[in-house]
Amino acid sequence: MESPYNLLTDNELLALLNKGDENAFSVIYERYWPLLLRHAKRMLSDDEDVRDVLQEVFSKLWNQAFDLEINTTLASYLYALTRNRILNVIAHQKVRTNHIDSLSSFMENEQVATDYLVRERQLSLLIEKEIALLPEKMRVIFDLSRNKHLSYKEIAQKLSISENTVKKQINNALKILRLKLGLVAFITFLLLK
């Protein structure tokens, strides 16, 4: 039996989504996932990247449901969001490729230590940039953990939140950074801390 939500327009679904209605989100997801999947597959060759992009798009839609103000159609908004995420993936792939090529060249030519320091600084800047792009609450918690070396308990007390929230936010930050930085840069980041 078809859900009555399936008969609603995008605008009606958005109004319900703004109230946190999970059924409205589910219908939007089912309505647009296949379309966005085809769109993303035309621009990205890696199926895992495609799935990650769509997961980010729908996560953002749900996480911003209460504050979401769309000045266009839902379809246009989702396509634009997907396109922007895809462009981010492509840009990060290019950065990773350039970095890997640069590392290969460095290893082949056995350049002096100053080259290593320059590359390390570039990687640090890339890592700092990605950390700065984390959601504010997540970034604050991550900074207190990684840079101020506070324990989960100390962070929880300082921010008046639960230790579980702290742990979840740090784990989410690490997942995001691993996704954005790629495996080599992420392992380097962990080793530098």
For residue range 46-57, list pLDDT tens digits in order. Answer: 889 889 999 999
Residue 189 has pLDDT above 60, yes or no: no
Residue 46 phi/psi, 5° resolution? Answer: -90, 120
Higher pLDDT, 161 or 121: 161
Right CATH for 1-110 from 1.10.1740.10, 3.40.50.720, 3.40.50.2300, 3.20.20.70: 1.10.1740.10
Count the residues in the chain.
Answer: 193
Right CATH for 112-193 from 1.10.10.10, 3.40.50.300, 3.40.50.720, 1.10.1660.10: 1.10.10.10
The pLDDT tens digits of the residues spanning 151-160 come to 889 989 988 9
The residue extents of the domains of the chain are 1-110, 112-193
User: What does the buried/exposed string (b/e) look like for 83-99 if buried means 16 or more CB atoms within 10 Å of the residue's CB?
Assistant: bebbeebeebeebbeeb
Rounded CA gap, 99 and 78, in Å? Answer: 31
Q: What is the mean pLDDT of residues 166-179?
A: 82
Nearest residue to 65 via CA among 2, 23, 4, 5: 23
- The full DSSP string for the chain is ---GGGGS-HHHHHHHHTTT-HHHHHHHHHHHHHHHHHHHHHH-S-HHHHHHHHHHHHHHHHHTTTT---SS-HHHHHHHHHHHHHHHHHHHHHHHHHHHHHHHHHHHHT--HHHHHHHHHHHHHHHHHHHHTS-HHHHHHHHHHHTS---HHHHHHHHT--HHHHHHHHHHHHHHHHHHHHHHHHHHHHHH-
Higher pLDDT, 51 or 68: 51
pTM: 0.49
Higher pLDDT, 105 or 159: 159
Look at phi and psi of residue 110 and say left if phi exceeds 0, alpha if psi is from -120 to 50, else beta: left
